[in-house]
Amino acid sequence: MSSSPRPGAAALGTVERLQRARRIGTTFGRVYLGIKANQFIQRRLRPSDMRERWSRFNRQSAESIYDAAIDLRGLILKGCQFLGARADVLPREYVEVLSRLQDRVPAKSFAVVRRTVERELGRPLGEVFRRFEPEPIAAASLAQVHEAELLDGERVAVKVQYPEIESLVRSDLANLRMLFRAVGVFERDFDLMPLLDELGEYLPRELDFQNEARNAETVAAFFAGRDDVVVPRIHHALTTRRVLVMEYMPGIKITDVDALRAAGVDPNRVTQTLVEAFCRQILTHGFFHADPHPGNLMVQPDGPRLVLLDFGLTKDLPPRFREGIVAFALALIADDPGKLGQALVDLGFETKDGRPEGLHEIARFFLAFAKRFREQPHADPKMLEELGDEIPDMIRQNPIVRVPNHVVLLGRVLGLLSGTSRSLGSRVDLLRTILPYALGRA
């Protein structure tokens, strides 16, 4: 990101920067000191209830970070949403608390929204929209969405970026880098800088709504031949870096099973379409929507049709990713931990000593899971969620230095889709659905 705000971006004053730095420092400082105190108690006193002590401490710490994220917004809020999906890094209590931030973000006032839209489009609101609803239909960490109507009567959704967000992100990145470097001096094995680097890489893209518009059109093209998966059409003439105007697509939230059934929609069909949609993105095209939480997935009863929303976070997979997945699957079928360990290396996993043998224990875990999967091809979504819980615990206990970020994002997608499938109470033959895409035959 550039060192100065772009034209139109609100700059932070010195006092506000200092206040944010103090809140960040005190919040994370208390958590760090609490960790050290619990480590001392565990090492010296060895109480029998240490597991419960850690659980209580982790949940209390996560709640304090949650409160700070709601108050500070900006990078802290976005970063905590990101960490809420990183069970490979954080204990379960943090993930459970911080994941609540996905849907609970306070909205900005309509006056702020109006000023932003008029500045970005260079015209009064009434010269562009016949109607513009003051209350947002959704609010997230970087922006909020309003329903509106163009002068020709077309209903649209208008995504409006918070005016101060670039300055908040820049200030918070600097504060967190300073904090994590200071902690790193005392804690050689505590390194969150790679996560900060990931945020520094992804956030500028999410702050550019023209980039999001291109992502949406890329994914829309994947389903040009299907009428059961749709992406809102973009109005490029009214889209800027901070305002995104798109076709308004009403629908039922994908996890509202009662509403789906009342509309005559079969949840099993919705789940099948959802799994196929992400197989096509990931295994056929190597480019996927990386944030499919239920707020970004709607169902239109006519069809039914799956509506994909919000393409701020997407991911391009490495060119030979599908080949790596096929090698991984063949190793699972052959029940060969050595080949499976090598497949993990080929997919981008790294070990402390650089040798694939360090991954063999993890490979054996996958083999055990594959056996369970073969015995139950109609995979219970609960089984996939358990896998999502068990893998991070195992990774933290093994000599992996780095899990490639595309695998992390895929794990996040798997977890979100598994949770959604479980909410729908449906059963899909995953093996039969995934295999044609993995072999390039779908």
- Pair 137, 157: CB distance under 8 Å: yes
Whether 181 and 219 share a structural domain: no
Per the listing, tokens 């009403």 go with: 250
Whether 179 and 135 share a structural domain: no
Amino acid 1: pLDDT: 41
Whether 264 and 357 share a structural domain: yes
50 versus 400: the higher-pLDDT residue is: 50
Whether 36 and 113 share a structural domain: no
Amino acid 324: pLDDT: 83
Tokens for 64, please give them: 């304090």
- Pair 254, 420: CB distance under 8 Å: yes
Q: Is residue 201 part of a domain?
A: no
Q: pTM of whole model > 0.85?
A: no
Amino acid 374: pLDDT: 60
d(CA 180, CA 172): 12
Whether 330 and 184 share a structural domain: no
Last residue of a domain, one of 231, 249, 267: 249
Whether 147 and 18 share a structural domain: no
Write the CB contacts of 430 (distance below 8 Å, at least 6 apart in sequence): 275, 373, 377, 378, 379
Q: CA of 16: how far to CAs of 3, 13, 27, in Å?
A: 18, 5, 16
Whether 356 and 378 share a structural domain: yes
What 8-state DSSP symbol labels residue 100?
G
Beta-bridge mates of residue 173: none
- Tell me the catalytic residues: 291
Helix (H, G, I), strand (E, B) or coil at 214: helix
How many independent structural domains does the chain possess?
3
Whether 56 and 41 share a structural domain: yes
Whether 261 and 323 share a structural domain: yes
Amino acid 364: pLDDT: 76
3-state SS track over 264-313: CCCHHHHHHHHHHHHHHHHHHHCEEECCCCHHHEEEECCCCEEEECCCCC
Q: Is residue 7 part of a domain?
A: no
Average pLDDT over residues 165-177: 78
Amino acid 297: pLDDT: 93
Last residue of a domain, one of 199, 228, 249: 249
Write the CB contacts of 241 (distance below 8 Å, at least 6 apart in sequence): 6, 120, 161, 207, 208, 209, 210
Whether 219 and 82 share a structural domain: no
Q: Is residue 1 part of a domain?
A: no
Helix (H, G, I), strand (E, B) or coil at 400: strand
**pLDDT per residue over 361-374, tens digit each?**
777 777 777 676 66
- Per-residue pLDDT for 398 more than 80? no
For 151-301, where are the E strands, in sequence order?
A: 155-161, 229-230, 243-247, 252-253, 287-289, 297-300
**CATH for 147:** 3.30.200.20
Mean pLDDT of the chain: 82
d(CA 196, CA 350): 19
d(CA 185, CA 194): 16
- Pair 211, 205: CB distance under 8 Å: yes
Q: In which domain, by residue range, is 316 found?
A: 251-442
Segment among 116-125, 243-252, 271-280, 424-433 with least mean pLDDT: 424-433
Whether 235 and 258 share a structural domain: no
Whether 66 and 117 share a structural domain: no
